[in-house]
Chains A and B, each alone.
Chain A
Amino acid sequence: MSLGGLLSSPPAIVSAGVDVFSDALRAQGAEVHDVDWRPPGFGDPADLSAIALDPRRAAANRTAVERLLAAGSELVDVRPARDVIGLADRTLLHSGPPLSWEMASGPMRGALIGACLFEGWASTVEEAEAILAAGEVALDPCHHHRTVGPMAGVTSPSMWLWCLSDPVNGGQAFCNLNEGLGKVLRMGAFNQEVQTRLRWMRDVLGPVLADAVRSRSDDPIDVKSILAQMLQMGDEGHNRNRAGSLMALRELSPAVVAVDAPSSDIAAVLKFIGGNEHFFLNLGMPTAKLALDAARNIPGSTMLTVMSRNGTEFGIQTAGTGDRWFTGPAQTPVGLFLGNFGPDDANPDIGDSAIMETYGVGGFSMAAAPAIVRFVGGSVPDALATTERMHQLTLTENPAMAIPIMGFRGAPTGIDVLKVARTGWLPQINTGMAGRVAGTGQVGAGLVQPPQECFEKALQALAEESRTA
């Protein structure tokens, strides 16, 4: 037993606790690194110890990380939700953990109403509210269907979904098409403008994209590679998708132009994609979903597989606890507001898009997109510090997602519940803000954190699981 060379040369010391020993070590000329240790932010010490000592943990987290990092993402199809995930009539998917109409927030209700109108299940807002309140429309989280949706995430049977496939782990993931900014269904708007756009997306955009994507079946678009490139172009992949959207347009355009459709439709499709800075988000999200689903169901792993919000609650899942949700009240983002909107107009946090942070981009890769940090009046050093901090919450660095200004260090990836508890730092999420009142649409964008409560519950469950294992 050589103890890693410990007895051959004076060791560098990493010390957590009282200073007096470090001072004595420095007096001897030893290399000493003091840790800024403090009591855990939350969690019963016995639970923390139980998880820390779980003999399965190291290997389980290694497996989780390996699967996450290995996952690829290819755009293989565009199909209506009815066909591809078997979404039944009078069923709507929504973002976040499970939700009832009674507990739904304004923008979630607005989006659900809008979807009922769009599907023709109701002809007026009042009718839509009535069937939703009566429980005549089944509600289910997107995440239960290998699907993710930004903001309200409301997905109805007639909506077209991006179909992505992981050639390494064999998974599939789905996401609806991004509508653009302003008054849009995902932000809770449902007026005529929204309905007209949704119908156009159903009748023109979806079929054209489907033909275009299928025409590349022997050379599918590598979405993961676009995500990696955009991090080097000022995007962080959640709140800033400008470069990614342009690259997606570049990849799709030749195939779109070759689709057998009226040239006016082709022009409209290209104009729509080119005019939407967040077009790529709905491709980035299922890319992250593929990687995190690959890491599901690994007993003993403390890595997050889901962070998601439904506008009322924030929910997380871990690799070690399967499909169980751990929830807490969604917080209201802090940030900048459009026009005359202010903090009182903002709805609590909403959307499956925190899958990006779960994957290590978005707020975790803030350093790649310094522009984003100004949403809270921060500075470039703040952006770098945020990413540095997130490295202490995560299990690994994703070499595929390199951040130039961090010396091409990989994005901090694989959020560890135990590290969140021990550091007392919560994950940083970049997000859009929907209006509190149904029908308002987007009111701003900013930064938000999960409620500590969901991590407290997850930690407790992981500790229980590890005691009975």
Chain B
Amino acid sequence: MTASPALSGTAGVRSVSLRSGVYADSVRLMQVSRTVSALPGVTGVIVAMATPLNLELAGNMGLAPEEVPSPEQLLIAVRAEDDAALTAAVAAVDAALAERERSAGTADAVRHRTIGAGLDELPPDASALAIVSVPGQYAVAEAADAIAAGRSVLIFSDGVPVEHEVALKRAARDAGVLVMGPDCGTAIVSGVALGFANVVRPGPVGLVAASGTGAQQVSCLLDMAGVGVSHVLGVGGRDLSEAVGGLATLDALAALDADPATERVLLVSKPPAPSVEESVSAAAAELSVPVRSAVLSPETPDLTAAVEALLTDMGMDVPTWPSRPGPVESSVPGATLKGLYSGGTLADEAMLIAAPALGDIRSNTPLRPELDLGTDLSASGHVVIDFGDDALTVGRAHPMIDPTLRLEAIAALAASDEPAVLLLDVVLGYGADPDPAGALVPALHAARARKQLPVVVALVGTEADPQGWSRQADALAAAGAVVFASNAAATRHALRLLGVAP
């Protein structure tokens, strides 16, 4: 080691030394310089190999060594305000040079930010499906990733413009994959329940559903009749509209036709646009698998009846659908129907069944536009509210998860003087409230303590669901509710309590 320490008082004190036999790469040395220059009282540092360039830099800083070094030597030059700072700085240089880097090895995991990046990691021959539940305005790019990767996608998000839906479904058709949605909340694919779906047994019936709770009602009733489903393919509520033209419905039908596990198909939807109905019927007629429609319309208002017809097709007996009688209550003539629903299709079905007996029913999702409730959820008269409608889920979870709004409506109904019959749906299964009765039971007790309020519940679920149909049914019945597995049966019972013959 050659050292030529020099102390001078003109601009603080300095130490300039040269070391031989020490090599560190320039990056390491620049780091050392930076560490030491940050110490208090240090006014200049250069720790560098004594190359001509570095010696010139040192000279500019007034830190050139007195002797002429060779480029293999390490120059350590420090200027500080006083001796104490200088000593500390020189010691810090030694410490920094001696320091070993501790971290090495594998990358901290970098998480995938897009569906595309996530799918990219999977083996190309593995079966895979994307689920997109990001805000609707961003859903398109994620779904397009899946299609580009040759994967089907379930779009739970709503708020996707219809022209984007069409573009996605066309691209999917070209890629040989399926777009379920947008606004698709329910599917079962090869036994995997996606979104809001029930634990149903595997079996021969394939469902194509433009309606989530409709598919849940149908698959649960089939399960209760001992019939399983192969797959439930959701297509989104707009798929059978004129604009979309049933793109996904046609693809789903074709896929189920090609699936060896599927022996029959049931198509669950609201009435399709006439042109679409024609093309879907034509396509269905071409398939080797028989296709039956469960279309909710004023003429065929009843999903339970559609399930019963399918069972008859299969040569099976129609069972007595499970129910819990609840307390004996006399009818309340003159009362109004208050249907508070979390499932849109179930609300529709209730209105379609009740309207012929009751006349006009006002709703936020009315059968005719002039019956629109607007924002007045506590309107008088016959009312059916769909709390799952987009307008009521902005900024909050779906009512199958968050019961707050519906519980408020029940309390408001109890506080009003209007005589009423309360009709509710409770949907069980994956994705739903783990114990919906837990929240409803106290609300029903409180309401029924204030006034005479018959309560009828359509309980959609299966025994195998995490919540258990019987456990929930017993709890609700104990709170005074009459419980039905069939929404149609529940609605008809409510009509009897209103004193009108269904």
Residues on A lying within 8 angstroms of B by beta carbon are 1-18, 20-21, 24-25, 27-28, 30, 33, 35-40, 45-46, 48-49, 52-53, 55, 58, 181-182, 336-340, 367, 371-372, 374-375, 377, 379-381, 384-385, 387-389, 391-392, 418-419, 422-425, 444
Minimum CB–CB distance from B2 to chain A (whole Å) comes to 21
A14 touches B131 (CB 8 A): yes
Q: Are B194 and A380 in contact (CB under 8 A)?
A: no
Distance to closest chain B CB from A358 (angstroms): 20
Q: Shortest beta-carbon distance, B475 to chain A, in Å?
A: 22
With A4-B150, A4-B177, A423-B113: A30-B31 Cβ-Cβ less than 8 Å: no
- List, in ascending order, chain A residues with CB within 8 A of B251's CB: 1
Distance of A458 from chain B, by nearest CB (Å): 16
Give chain B nearest CB distance to A455 CB in angstroms.
15
Nearest CB of A to B84, in Å = 22
Which A-B residue pairs are the 6 nearest by beta carbons? A17-B133, A384-B107, A339-B57, A336-B30, A36-B111, A45-B137
Interface residues on B, range: 35 or more
Q: Is there an interface contact between B191 and A10, defined as CB atoms closer than 8 Å?
A: yes
Known: A10-B192, A337-B33, A384-B106. 4 other contacts (CB 8 A): A14-B129, A46-B137, A340-B46, A388-B110
**Residues of chain A contacted by B466 (CB below 8 angstroms):** 27
Q: Are B30 and A16 in contact (CB under 8 A)?
A: no
Contact B27 A371 (CB under 8 A): yes
* Contact call A17/B112, Cβ cutoff below 8 A: no
Q: Are A24 and B142 in contact (CB under 8 A)?
A: no
Identify which of B58, B177, B189, B230 contacts A339 (C-beta below 8 A): B58
Cβ of B259: which chain A residues have Cβ within 8 Å of it?
Answer: 7-8
Cα of A9 to Cα of B259 in the assembled complex, Å: 11
The minimal Cβ–Cβ distance linking A88 to chain B, given in whole angstroms, is 35
Are B130 and A15 in contact, with the CB atoms below 8 A?
yes
Give the CA-CA distance A39 to B134 in the complex, in Å.
8
Known: A1-B254, A53-B140. Contact between A12 and B114, CB under 8 A?
A: no
B423 to chain A, nearest CB (A): 27
Which of chain A's residues have a CB closer than 8 A to the CB of B152?
A: 3-4, 6
Q: Return the chain A residue nearest B163 by Cβ.
A: A53
Contact B114 A37 (CB under 8 A): yes
Contact between B115 and A14, CB atoms less than 8 A apart: yes
8 contacts between A and B (CB under 8 A): A1-B176, A3-B176, A10-B191, A40-B141, A336-B30, A336-B33, A381-B103, A388-B107
B107 lies within 8 A of A339 (CB): no
Q: Chain B 121-133 against A: per-residue CB contact (8 Å), 1 yes, 0 no?
A: 1100111111111
Interface string of B142-171 (1 = CB under 8 A from A): 101010101110001100010010011001
Indicate whether B119 reaches chain A with its CB closer than 8 angstroms: yes
* Complex contacts, B30 vs chain A, CB 8 Å: 336-338, 375, 444
Given A16-B142, A55-B171, A339-B54, A11 and B128 contact (CB-CB distance below 8 Å): yes
**B252 to chain A: closest CB distance in Å?**
9
The listed residue (B57, B148, B178, B191) touching A58 by CB distance below 8 A is: B148
Contact of A9 among B28, B127, B131, B430 (CB under 8 A): B127
Task: With both chains docked as a complex, state the minimum distance between the C-beta of A43 and any C-beta of chain B, in angstroms.
Answer: 10
